Amino acid sequence: MSVPAPSVPAPSIPALAAPSAAGNLSPEADRPSADPDIRHDWTIAEILDLLQTPLLDLLHQAQTLHRRHNPGNHIQLATLLSVKTGGCAENCAYCPQSAHYETPVAKEPTLGVTEVLTQAQAAKDQGATRFCMGWAWREIQDGPAFDAMVAMVEGVKSLGLEACVTAGMLKASQAERLAAAGLTAYNHNLDTSPEYYGEIITTRTYGDRLQTLAHVRQAGMTVCSGGIIGLGETLGDRAQMLQILANLSPHPESVPINTLVAVAGTPLQDQAPVDPLDLVRMCAVARITMPKARVRLSAGRRQLSREAQVLCFMAGANSMFYGDKLLTTDNPDRQQDLELLAAIGAKPLEPFQDLPH
């Protein structure tokens, strides 16, 4: 069955659809790729076709590209710590940290530098090679809290870990300061398509998100950006989100694929669970359209069986969040994850492998 694409004209997203001040996220953007697998001209129709390809054919195509561009059977283990929890001014319909909703997640004191670095060391000792830190902010504000963030980044890098931050929107000057501190990546997800976005968030525009990604790239950091499925979006919305990401030049180095974890008190608390095979398809199409990216299994992995996770790895996922918590939601048991990797013969990826800096 053919699923119509969202009726959003390309000019509505000029930051990513064509080279521009916001769209040229790297000096390399104007140079054509010597690798025919690397494209930045995907259409929504092409991606819809991929999402509806018979699953075994799709897996074969994705695994072929995956092995070509990601040899070694490695999976990155990333740990995510909530530094500032709750009380966020945004109204993201999926988020229990929003101050707009009454949820089980209470506002907590912000963690200090010493505590964060202690947890980073513990994550490293337990096998993580990327340490991600999250702040429930609409945007980064200059001042003591940002100074502490910079110190945390410097400390995490001094431990020999990749450092990633997610803290809402940021200005160009802030991105430059984080880059100077050694930040490996900044995470800022697109969440969904431009057309469906207004059904999920009204306190920040899609253009705001694109501008933050541009600031990240222009500061010389790698981009971590993906989305969420299970929000009530159509297949066309999923296709357009992937199209926007895949037409970034260069591609995001990290692409988290989240499934909604419906939390009581949020507007999406009654959403039906996502079919695991839909997640497999999203991982496969992300791999096909962004062959070198780290496709990361993120929120919702606790609801997956071992077999469903293995299918995601077959589809090209090569990173996962590792540890007891994923911000405020439970994550699979760490020992179970290690046993799963051992069962399939996968090895943890060393830090800074295949990154451009």
User: Which residues are catalytic, by number?
Assistant: 88, 92, 95, 132, 164, 224, 296
Q: How many CB atoms lie within 10 A of CB 65?
A: 19
All residues at 6 or more sequence positions from 301 whose CB lies less than 8 Å from its CB, including other chains: 309, 320, 321, 326, 331, 332
Q: How far apart, in whole angstroms, are the C-alpha atoms of residue 270 and residue 312?
A: 25
Q: Which structure tokens are listed for 12?
A: 């509505």
Three-class secondary structure of residue 251 per DSSP: coil
Facing residues of 165 across strands? 133, 186
The answer to whether the beta carbons of residues 50 and 288 sit under 8 Å apart is yes
The dihedrals phi and psi of 161, each to the nearest 5 degrees, come to -105, 150
Give start and end residues of each alpha helix (H) in 136-292. 144-158, 172-181, 194-197, 206-218, 235-246, 276-289
